[in-house]
């Protein structure tokens, strides 16, 4: 009976935070968009393709079950109700001339909808051409007037057919296709640059509408008017390559955090120096030479203005080229976080979202045995309306994690409440879609707009599954929710924790049922059968449950699972021409390298191991966990040098024999992509972009990598790793070869995204920048199609989750006898703070390296963005120390600690891959003097890097790290 109470959870979070649906989604300044720029491009030449004054070269069509059927035939086969595209010339709506072309179509075909959850097919119009050569022109222009009564979103897809040397449509679709979001009941001027596609023998151009049904209040038949289609010649956008679009500067449109590394990139700028100008008063605050930088991907001009740490709004100028204004401040990422929250709100399933959809999918159900439940809620997933636990779960966990950080740091109460509100919307769905016995709705595909009436022929039905991975995920979400909600809503928090315990048991019970897949590569999505994905999620759930309950059984399980996670890592130096360590295989058997091509989960092992390190500092395996994290983060830093000066995360290491294990039709594409990577030797290659086929776009791979690195950075106190994680945000928001922000409504020149089911939403991110064909360089054509320009909640979830770790200033607090001074090393800028009567001080500082002084004592500290620090600066308790290493000719490692302060102190070393395993030394420190301590070690395995952690007075939070390898010079 207790599980029946789960159904009552719906809305409790929202009531707790007094949510009312009075919020309109955010809007954008259209003039900041790429669409506005395209419409205002100079047209150098025009050729009329069709003035819509005759029908001879047009016909309507409908697809059903994937087959394109001529309208005249479908009329005979389907029925007489006109459930196909009907064409006529019309005078009702005319843009130019006497007539327009009118297409009428129902929004669905007769009969039961496909069991796949997709729509009934497509209706459209096709214009025929007699193998025309369009290569002289590079843009299509057309005017479209949609008449869709009651509809919020209006979308059409366009496609070119070419019968030349290169055929269109292409093998994986996508090329020569674009999707349009149109304004209903008005003329839309649509322009589509086609410089990227073959057009030497054009046979047809089509526009079609997806027959996805209708929601309550939406018409069951619709119209589109088309007029004045032209070919145009314009100066094309840059769409490919690592070099920066000539005439532009590549920079972070959102701005730069105060203490971050601040660089911008260009090519072929005719200037020796650049200037940074204060936008408020026009003052030139910095003038420096432009640096010339060469790397694996080419030659670049780099403008480095890291030393500017004064908050403000600035413009970069180099010669005659300048950027739009951008901020330098500690909160530059907050705007994108608010917009991400707006995106999630707009993607909510089940409720009325003004301008997006009405109450929806009340006839969407999941079945389990003879039981059935309504499963609307959570968030729609992508360009379609799909809903699934993996994505809704990730969003919910990311939001609760963010709320926990905001609350702990007493930051921005309004933002905190908004984050909790959205997190609770996800928690509601996670809890209500459980049948209470381990079975729950895993998710189901939907491209349909349904009428909310259960039992008719547009319903979608999913079958519940009992899956350990999702039960572990739910257990983690629910245990985390308990921590966040226990003070505001103790009843709901208790309910969530009770479910977390049960879901953990269901997951553990289900683990023996998992069998290794015989399929080594699925070919279209991402890596399959990754053992440590499940184990990592199990560890995360176990640690969250331990934190909630204190039950040692969870800790024991987590430590046991961690052993298998670490067993899947390459710890020994490879024998390649360019050796590497630290990367992962899919299983502990190490028979397959780990890669993802679309939606990555590479953060799993590092997130799990860092949670273990933070939760169980005295565990016997602590140093093993720590060293695994160190090796992986150094691997990411190493491979990111190949994409300097962007330093965007490369995808993965691949073997030149992997293609043998993929489906026959895809073998040549897989092989060629691997061979186009960076040769590492012994048949291994580093791909900067993933190997992929139809599912393309790399934000879902680089953001999980960045999240892993950011967690490692916090554990290790590694400022360079934290700032490398920030660079991934910068790449997405404008510091890329196209100098375009890819988040809709954030920054400048943001492009249309593929979102035919929900329309444009501020805060949306696409799947990401892709590569062309078998190449390994950025490709970002103007065409707007799946999947690389498709909105997915996954990259936005990862964006929020990463912001939790790297956004904002460092919070530094602690105890001191007297005033404290923080001196930033690179600029010598000093920031004082006075402790209170109880000796406690608290200050927010930009990330960076500092010398901290108080009462004659000094400490060297690196402060990472978004991280909280606790310092002890009182006389007799404060200690400063530096750690260094030397390696003798016979391979002996000497670890040196130079310490200063006063009083008696103990220094402890924890080691990995060195003998002895640990050591402790004591020293009495004298004021104004330095004491030197040394430890000597031998390497246990000369093919594995070693790691040492040093900390004073049993205070592991004050640790410092040194690492190396015997092969290093």
Convert the pLDDT of each residue in 767-789 to its tens digit.
999 999 999 999 999 999 999 99
Q: Residue 32: pLDDT above 80?
A: yes
pLDDT at 103: 97
Position 446 pLDDT exceeds 80: yes
| One CATH from 1.10.10.10, 3.40.109.10, 1.50.10.10, 2.20.28.90 for 334-806 | 1.50.10.10
Span(s) in the chain for CATH 2.60.40.1120: 809-871
Per-residue pLDDT, averaged over 606-635, amounts to 98
Lowest-pLDDT range of 87-91, 180-184, 640-644, 659-663: 659-663
pLDDT in tens, 336-376: 999 999 999 999 999 999 999 999 999 999 999 999 999 99
Region(s) of the chain under CATH 2.60.40.10: 256-329
Partnered with residue 903 across adjacent β-strands are 925
CATH number of 876-969: 2.60.40.690
Q: Which of 538, 390, 746, 529 is nearest to 546 (CA)?
A: 538
DSSP 883-902: EEEEE-TT--EEEEEEEEES
pLDDT for 854-886, tens place per residue? 998 889 999 999 999 999 999 889 999 999 999
**Residue 890 binned pLDDT confidence (cut-offs 50, 70, 90):** confident
> Which pLDDT band holds residue 514 (cuts at 50, 70, 90)?
confident
Q: Quick one: angle between helices 389-408 and 413-432, nearest 10?
A: 150
User: What letter would DSSP give residue 484?
Assistant: H
Residue 429 has pLDDT above 80, yes or no: yes
Chain region(s) in the chain for CATH 2.60.40.690: 876-969
Asked if residue 143 has pLDDT above 70, the reply is: yes
User: Are residues 955 and 878 in contact, defined by beta-carbon separation less than 8 angstroms?
Assistant: no
**Cβ–Cβ under 8 Å, residues 162 and 203:** yes
Alpha carbons 279 and 286: distance in angstroms, whole number = 13
Q: What pLDDT is attached to residue 529?
A: 60
* Residues facing residue 822 across a β-bridge: 831, 852
Tens of pLDDT, residues 924-943: 998 889 999 999 999 999 99
Q: Is the pLDDT of residue 545 over 60?
A: yes
Report how far residue 139's alpha carbon sits from residue 217's, in angstroms, rounded to the nearest whole number: 37
pLDDT-derived band at 834, boundaries 50, 70, 90:
very high
Q: Is pLDDT above 80 for 258? A: yes
Enter the DSSP assignment of 30: G
Torsion 606-612-617-620 (CA) sign: negative
What one-character-per-residue DSSP string does 138-207 give? -EEEEEEEEE-TT-S-EEEEEEEEEESSSEES-TTS-TTEEEEEE-TTS-EEEEEE-TTS--SSEEEEEE
Average pLDDT over residues 751-766: 97
**C-alpha to C-alpha distance for 585 and 617, rounded to whole angstroms:** 27
- Phi then psi dihedrals of residue 291, to 5 deg: -85, 145
Q: What is the pLDDT of residue 64?
A: 84
∠ Cα 511 515 520 (to 5°): 130
Candidates 3.30.450.20, 1.10.10.10, 2.60.40.1120, 2.30.29.30; correct CATH number of 809-871? 2.60.40.1120
pLDDT of residue 368: 97
Q: What is the mean pLDDT of residues 274-297?
A: 97
Residue 889: the pLDDT is: 84
Rounded distance, CA 775 to CA 780, Å? 13
| Helix ranges restricted to H, 49-129 | 71-77
Q: Is residue 385 scored above 90 in pLDDT?
A: yes
Whether residue 170 has pLDDT greater than 60: yes
Q: Please check the confidence at residue 408 and state whether its pLDDT lies above 50.
A: yes
The proportion of the chain whose per-residue pLDDT surpasses 90, expressed as a percent, equals: 88
Distances (CA, A) of 338 to 34, 768, 794, 827: 22, 20, 17, 32
The CA–CA distances, whole Å, from 24 to 52, 258, 292, 844, 867 equal: 38, 32, 47, 34, 33
- What whole-number distance in Å separates Cα of residue 387 and Cα of residue 468? 19
Q: What is the mean pLDDT of the chain?
A: 93
pTM (two decimals): 0.95
CA pseudo-torsion sign 108, 112, 116, 121 = negative
Q: Kindly indicate the confidence band of residue 17, based on its pLDDT and cuts at 50, 70 and 90.
A: very low
Does pLDDT of 544 surpass 80?
yes
**25: DSSP letter:** P
Residues 6+ apart with CB under 8 A from 410: none
Q: Give the residue-averaged pLDDT of 223-228.
A: 98
How confident is the model at residue 790, as a pLDDT? 97
In this prediction, residue 80 carries a pLDDT of 33
Region 748-757: what's the mean pLDDT?
97
Does CATH number 2.60.40.10 belong to domain 256-329? yes
| Cα 42 from Cα 139, distance rounded (Å) | 12
Sequence ranges of the chain with CATH classification 2.60.120.260: 42-233
For residue 134, whether the previous peptide bond is cis, meaning omega lies within 30 degrees of 0, is no
Q: DSSP for 649-692, please give it.
A: PP-EEEETTGGGGS-GGGHHHHHHHHHTSEEEETTEEEESS---
Residue 72: what pLDDT? Answer: 33
List the structure tokens of 246: 């000539």
Residue 1 scores a pLDDT above 60:
no
Question: For every residue of 234-295, which 3-state class applies, written as one string?
Answer: CCCCCCECCCCCCCCCECCCCCEECCCCCEEEECCCCCCEEEEEECCCCCEEEEEECEEEEE
CATH of 42-233, one of 2.60.300.12, 3.40.140.10, 3.40.980.10, 2.60.120.260: 2.60.120.260
Q: What is the mean pLDDT of residues 818-835?
A: 97
* Among 38, 122, 92, CA closest to 226: 92
Residues of the chain with CATH 1.50.10.10: 334-806
Q: Are the CB atoms for 477 and 504 separated by under 8 Å?
A: no
- pLDDT value of residue 513: 83
pLDDT band at 16 (very low <50, low <70, confident <90, very high): very low
pLDDT at 516 (0 to 100): 62
**Helix or strand or coil: residue 384?**
coil
Tell me how many degrees the CA angle 568-569-572 measures, rounded to the nearest 5: 130
Residue 212 has pLDDT above 70, yes or no: yes
Q: Which residues of 9-46 are buried (b: 16+ CB within 10 A; e: fewer)?
A: bbebbbebbebeeeeebbeeeeebbbbeebeeeeeeee
Considering only 508-517, 549-558, 838-847, which range has the smallest mean pLDDT? 508-517
pLDDT bucket at 79, cuts 50 / 70 / 90: very low
Six-digit token pair at 815?
A: 């105890």
Could you tell me which of 344, 438, 347, 447 has the C-alpha nearest to residue 396? 344
Strand partners, 166: none
Question: pLDDT class for 241, splitting at 50, 70, 90?
Answer: very high
Q: Are 85 and 60 in contact (CB under 8 A)?
A: yes
Collapsing DSSP states into helix, strand and coil, what is residue 469? helix
**Candidate from 15-19, 146-150, 595-599 with smallest mean pLDDT:** 15-19
């Amino acid at each position: 009976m207790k599980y029946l109470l789960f159904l009552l959870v719906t809305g409790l979070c929202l009531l707790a935070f007094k949510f009312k649906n009075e919020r309109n989604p955010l809007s954008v300044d259209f003039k900041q968009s790429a669409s506005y720029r395209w419409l205002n491009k100079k047209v150098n030449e025009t050729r009329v393709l069709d003035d819509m004054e005759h029908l001879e070269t047009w016909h309507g069509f409908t697809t059903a079950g994937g087959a394109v059927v001529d309208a005249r035939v479908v009329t005979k086969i389907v029925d007489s109700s006109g459930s196909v595209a009907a064409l006529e010339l019309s005078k009702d709506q005319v843009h130019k001339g006497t007539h327009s072309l009118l297409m009428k179509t129902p929004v669905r075909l007769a009969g039961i909808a496909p069991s796949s959850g997709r729509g009934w097919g497509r209706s459209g119009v096709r214009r025929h051409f007699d193998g025309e050569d369009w290569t002289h022109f590079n843009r299509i222009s057309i005017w479209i007037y949609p008449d869709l009564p009651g509809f919020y979103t209006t979308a059409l897809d366009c496609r070119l057919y070419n019968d030349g040397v290169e055929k269109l449509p292409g093998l994986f679709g996508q090329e020569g296709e674009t999707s349009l979001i149109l304004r209903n009941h008005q003329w839309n001027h649509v322009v589509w640059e086609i410089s990227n596609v073959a057009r030497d023998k054009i046979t047809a151009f089509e526009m079609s509408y997806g027959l996805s049904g209708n929601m309550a209040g939406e018409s069951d038949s619709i119209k589109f008017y088309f007029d004045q289609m032209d070919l145009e010649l314009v100066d094309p956008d840059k769409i490919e390559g690592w070099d920066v679009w000539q005439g532009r500067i590549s920079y972070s449109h959102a701005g730069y955090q105060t203490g971050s590394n601040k660089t911008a990139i260009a090519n072929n700028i005719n200037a020796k120096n650049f200037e940074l100008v204060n936008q408020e008063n026009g003052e030139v605050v910095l003038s420096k030479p432009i640096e010339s930088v060469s790397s694996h991907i080419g030659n670049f001009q780099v403008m480095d203005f890291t030393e500017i740490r004064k908050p403000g709004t600035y413009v970069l100028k180099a010669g005659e080229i300048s950027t739009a204004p951008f901020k330098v401040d500690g909160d530059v990422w907050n705007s994108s976080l608010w917009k991400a929250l707006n995106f999630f709100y707009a993607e909510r399933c089940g409720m009325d979202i003004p301008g997006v959809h009405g109450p929806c999918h009340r006839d969407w159900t999941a079945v389990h045995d003879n039981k059935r439940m309504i499963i609307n809620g959570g968030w729609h997933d992508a360009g379609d309306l799909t809903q699934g636990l993996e994505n809704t779960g990730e969003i919910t966990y990311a939001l609760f994690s963010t709320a926990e950080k905001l609350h702990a740091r007493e930051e921005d109460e309004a933002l905190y409440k908004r984050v909790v509100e959205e997190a609770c919307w996800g928690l509601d769905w996670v809890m209500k879609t459980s049948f209470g016995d381990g079975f729950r709705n895993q998710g189901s595909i939907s491209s349909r707009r349904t009428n909310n009436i259960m039992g008719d022929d547009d319903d979608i039905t999913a079958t519940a599954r009992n899956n350990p991975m999702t039960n572990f995920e739910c257990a983690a979400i629910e245990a985390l929710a308990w921590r966040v909600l226990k003070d505001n809503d103790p009843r709901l928090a208790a309910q969530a924790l009770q479910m977390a315990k049960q879901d953990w048991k269901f997951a553990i019970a289900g683990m023996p049922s998992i069998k290794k897949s015989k399929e080594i590569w699925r070919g279209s999505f991402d890596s399959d059968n990754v053992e440590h994905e499940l184990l990592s999620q199990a560890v995360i759930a176990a640690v969250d449950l331990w934190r909630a309950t204190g039950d040692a059984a969870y800790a024991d399980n987590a430590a046991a699972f961690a052993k298998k996670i670490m067993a899947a890592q390459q710890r020994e130096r490879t024998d390649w021409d360019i050796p590497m360590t630290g990367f992962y295989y899919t299983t502990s058997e190490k028979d397959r390298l780990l890669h993802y091509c679309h939606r990555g989960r590479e953060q799993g092992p590092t997130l799990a191991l860092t949670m273990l390190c933070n939760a169980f500092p005295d565990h016997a395996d602590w140093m093993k966990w720590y060293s695994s994290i160190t090796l992986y983060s150094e691997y990411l830093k190493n491979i990111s040098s190949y994409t300097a000066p962007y330093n965007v995360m490369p995808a993965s290491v691949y073997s030149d024999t992997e293609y043998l294990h993929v489906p026959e039709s895809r073998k040549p594409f897989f092989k060629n992509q691997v061979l186009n990577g960076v040769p590492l030797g012994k048949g291994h290659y580093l791909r900067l972009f993933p190997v992929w086929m139809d599912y393309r776009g790399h934000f879902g791979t680089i953001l999980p990598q960045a999240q892993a690195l950011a967690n490692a950075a916090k554990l290790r106190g590694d400022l360079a790793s934290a700032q490398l994680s920030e660079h991934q945000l910068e790449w997405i928001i404008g510091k890329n070869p196209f100098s375009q922000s890819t988040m809709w409504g954030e920054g400048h020149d943001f492009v249309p995204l593929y979102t035919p089911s929900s329309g444009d939403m501020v805060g949306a991110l696409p799947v990401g920048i892709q590569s062309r064909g078998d190449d390994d360089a950025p490709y970002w054509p103007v065409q707007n199609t799946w999947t690389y320009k498709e909105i997915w909640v996954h990259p936005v979830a990862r964006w929020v989750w990463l912001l939790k770790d790297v956004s904002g200033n460092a919070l530094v607090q602690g105890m001191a006898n007297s005033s404290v001074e923080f001196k930033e090393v690179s600029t010598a800028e000093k920031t004082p703070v006075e402790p209170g009567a109880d000796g406690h001080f608290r200050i927010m500082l930009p990330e960076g390296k500092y010398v901290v002084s108080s009462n004659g004592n000094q400490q060297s500290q690196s402060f990472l963005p978004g991280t909280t620090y606790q310092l002890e600066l009182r006389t007799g308790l404060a200690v400063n120390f530096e750690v260094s290493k030397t390696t003798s000719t016979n391979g002996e490692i000497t670890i040196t600690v130079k310490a200063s302060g006063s009083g008696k102190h103990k220094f402890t070393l924890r080691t990995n891959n060195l003998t002895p395993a640990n050591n402790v030394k004591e020293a009495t420190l004298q004021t104004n003097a330095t004491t030197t301590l040394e430890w000597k070690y031998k390497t246990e395995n000369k093919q594995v890097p070693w790691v040492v952690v040093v900390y004073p007075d049993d205070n592991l939070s004050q640790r410092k790290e040194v690492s190396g390898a015997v092969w290093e010079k």
